[in-house]
Amino acid sequence: MSEDTIRLVTLGRILRRRRRLLALLVVLGALAGYGTSLLFPPRYTASASVLLPGQWEERGLLTQAEIASSSTVVDRAAASLRWTDVSRAELRDRVRAKVTDGNVIRISGTADTPARAQRLSDQVAQQFVAFAGRIAGDSSDTDEVSGPQALRQQVTTTNRRISELAEAADPGRTVESVQARTQLEQLRTALQEAMKKLDEADPASNRTGMVVMGPAPRPTGEAPPTRIQLVAAGAVLFLLLGIVGHLVAARADRRPRTGPE
């Protein structure tokens, strides 16, 4: 008889001979899980989605997710909610943000009631959109002479200069003047198309266009671990501890066995 067979026979004998004790351990484990659930009140989680239009790199999306769950955004949401029984530090631990498919950031808020969880996630999403728009506006005001904004100013100046040159050219009296006006118009069109592509490819120009994709749905069930899960986990844990304890005791017993044993 192999060692695995002996182990299975030993396990079966323990389950058969100690079933009352094991059943008692299961009940005790279930009671322990129920008591643990009383120490941790139920929690509910609701999620709101924010759409980021335009083209975004993965690093940029991760940065926006960090901003959505940052202390600045959560503190602004806490100031709007005015919950006196929950501190701002506790609210920060209850808010999570992650990036999903399609340039969507999902903001999750956990609270003690479904209504509060819904309000928390909605408020954080709104504050995130407002804060991101404020950042984009401030950056365009303080950095007007650098980056894409400076290029846009140069293009505007160039378009104005093209218009002046076109008006100063001889209005169609010679072939050279017609060719010059045509080339100037082609240059103007090329600049406008280039700036349009730049606006579409620049994520900063689209930050103010973030959209909250509707209110967060109200949760219908508790967030894990639920009371039932804690009760089941306690029962299984005590059962396994009882079986392992019997196996250890049987292996440590060195008394002589009879032939049937």
pLDDT tens digits along 26-77: 889 888 888 887 777 788 999 999 998 878 888 888 999 999 999 999 999 9
pLDDT in tens, 208-232: 578 888 888 888 888 777 788 888 8
Residue 21 in tokens: 């004790």
pLDDT-based confidence at residue 150 (cuts at 50, 70, 90): low
Among 56-60, 138-142, 222-226, 249-253, which is the least confidently predicted range? 138-142
Question: What pLDDT score does 143 carry?
Answer: 46
Residue 261 has pLDDT above 60, yes or no: no
The kind and range of the H/E element at 212 are strand 211-212
Lowest mean pLDDT among 10-14, 49-53, 110-114: 10-14
Q: What is the pLDDT of residue 258?
A: 62
- Rounded Cα distance between 83 and 85, Å, is 6
145 pLDDT exceeds 90?
A: no
Task: Check pLDDT > 80 for residue 87.
Answer: yes
Would you place residue 179 in the very low, low, confident or very high pLDDT band (cuts 50, 70, 90)?
Answer: confident
Q: Give CA 46 to chain center in angstroms.
A: 12
Mean pLDDT throughout 5-20? 70
Q: How confident is the model at residue 240 (pLDDT cuts 50, 70, 90)?
A: confident
Backbone φ and ψ for 212, nearest 5 degrees, come out as -80, 120
Distance in angstroms (rounded) separating the CA atoms of residues 73 and 77: 6
108 to 52, 84, 98, 178, 210: CA distances (angstroms)? 17, 21, 9, 63, 17
pLDDT band with cut points at 50, 70 and 90 for residue 247 = confident
Please check whether residue 172 is in contact with residue 178, taking contact to mean a CB–CB distance below 8 angstroms: yes
Q: What are phi and psi of 50, to 5 degrees?
A: -120, 125
Alpha-carbon torsion, ordered 95, 96, 97, 100, to 10 deg = -130
Question: In terms of pLDDT, which residue wins out, 138 or 37?
Answer: 37
Mean pLDDT of the chain: 78
